[in-house]
Amino acid sequence: MKKVGIIGVNHVGAHVANALLYQSLADEIYLCDTNTTLCAAQANDLVDAMSFYPRSARIIDCADRYEDLAGCDVLVNAAGHVAAAAGNRDGELFVTSAEAKTFAQRIVDAGFAGVIVTIANPNDVIATEIQGLTGYDPRKVIGSGTTLDSARLRHALADATGFDQRSISAWMLGEHGFSEFACWSHITFGSLTVPEVERRTGLTLDRSTFETAATKGGFVTYQGKQCTEYSIANSATEIIKAVLCDAHIITPVSTYIDDVYGESGVYASLPCEVGARGVERVLVPELADDEVQRWHDTCAHIRANVEKVRCW
């Protein structure tokens, strides 16, 4: 019996529920939102759709009762106010950090013992905050981090080269935000390196062009529909699936940083092995010198934001 709870069920949270149902990943999905009318409506809409998913699941409308989420295997945090992040994810800092405070202690007191996948922005700050407020094992609090940004990087590289996104291994690291960077030294197309692909295709792949596409791609979507939903819901579902199925996939997620190139004490994205216990291992790549500098810069940006809201 797999149980997933979702806090915040507007664009992102509801699409996570839909993705979970399409992939038959959960037997019970608990929806929770301070907008209790919305929460009831989303629950009703999902139950109306139940005949069309591969198999049935129970949808439980928890309204604003976080305690009802205590028995879940995975809790997803999609509580936010996305309009505040319209031009910069840091714009949501004081909103989402306050929202996390409304539920963190309540889920601890209710006895929640599963894994948290937090999506709300600024992602690394909120992941750091939730781990700090709950005191949970850092491996059990995962930020969706640069999972989606890495998919955006692959999208841009696929467009340029014609290779399928799934044949490209290319990751954004650090902050889910403007200070993130492409781990250019480790990109492969199948088993081919960037210089090999450039020689074979005659293309010159300009790193900054692709970094910009990965970092700002979400705002392209946002401008047209005032949210992103399919891409984040599917990338978060990949992380949730890895936990529920103990899949041990390697993907970049925001995780607690403990002496990585001298940085500690905040969440940031690195390649991680994700399984039933959350982040099973952090797999630190051997970064090029310029990437190490970018790593320090991105951690400094996240740390500065954490200090603005720290109360744990």
Ligand X SMILES: NC(=O)c1ccc[n+]([C@@H]2O[C@H](COP(=O)([O-])OP(=O)(O)OC[C@H]3O[C@@H](n4cnc5c(N)ncnc54)[C@H](O)[C@@H]3O)[C@@H](O)[C@H]2O)c1
Q: Which residues are part of the catalytic machinery?
A: 176
Site residues (CB under 6 A) for ligand X, limited to 20-39: 32-35, 38
CA separation for the pair 28, 43 (Å, rounded): 12
- CB-wise, 120 or 302, nearer to ligand X? 120
- Interface of this chain with ligand X, residues 58 to 117, rule: CB under 6 A: 78-82, 85, 92, 96, 99, 102-103
32 or 57, CB closer to ligand X? 32
Q: Which backbone phi and psi does 249 adopt, to 5 degrees?
A: -75, 155
Tokens linked to 58: 């129970």
Minimum distance between the CB of residue 32 and ligand X, rounded to whole angstroms? Answer: 6
**Phi-psi region for residue 71, left (φ > 0), alpha (ψ -120 to 50) or beta?**
alpha
Q: Does 150 bind ligand X (CB under 6 A)?
A: no
Which amino acid does the sequence have at 149? D
Least separation in angstroms between CB 152 and ligand X? 10
**Structure tokens given for 221:** 């979507």
* One residue of 2, 11, 152, 301 binding ligand X per CB under 6 A: 11
Q: Which of residues 159-188 bind ligand X (CB under 6 A)?
A: 176
Q: Tell me how far, at minimum, the Cβ of 66 lies from ligand X, in Å.
A: 7
The interface region with ligand X, picked from 118-126, 177-185, 207-215, 296-304 by CB under 6 A, is 118-126
Q: Report, in Å, the least distance between residue 176 CB and ligand X.
A: 5
Calpha distance 63→30 (Å, rounded): 9
CA distance 285 to 173: 10
> Which residues is 267 bridged to in the sheet?
256
What three-state secondary structure class fits 93?
helix
Tokens, residue 114 = 């599963």
DSSP state of 174: B
- Under the binding rule (CB under 6 A), the answer on residue 144 touching ligand X is yes
The response to whether 13 counts as a known ligand-binding position is yes
Q: What are phi and psi of 184, to 5 degrees?
A: -60, -35
Residue 9 annotated in ligand binding: yes
Phi, psi of 156 (to 5 degrees): -70, -40
* 218 assigned binding-site residue: no
CB of 64 to ligand X, least distance (A): 6
Among 4, 7, 17, 117, interactor with ligand X by CB under 6 A: 7
Buried b (16+ CB within 10 A) or exposed e, 185-224: ebbebeebebeebeeeeeeebeeeebbebbbebbeebbee
| Span of 109-117, 189-197, 225-233, 271-279 interacting with ligand X by CB under 6 A | 225-233
Element (H, E) at 281: strand 278-282
Q: Considering beta carbons, is residue 106 or 281 the nearer one to ligand X?
A: 106
> Which residues are part of a known binding site for NAD(+)?
8-13, 33, 119-121
Positions in the binding site for ligand X (CB under 6 A):
7-8, 10-13, 32-35, 38, 78-82, 85, 92, 96, 99, 102-103, 119-121, 123, 144, 148, 176, 227-228, 232
Binding site as annotated, residues? 8-13, 33, 119-121
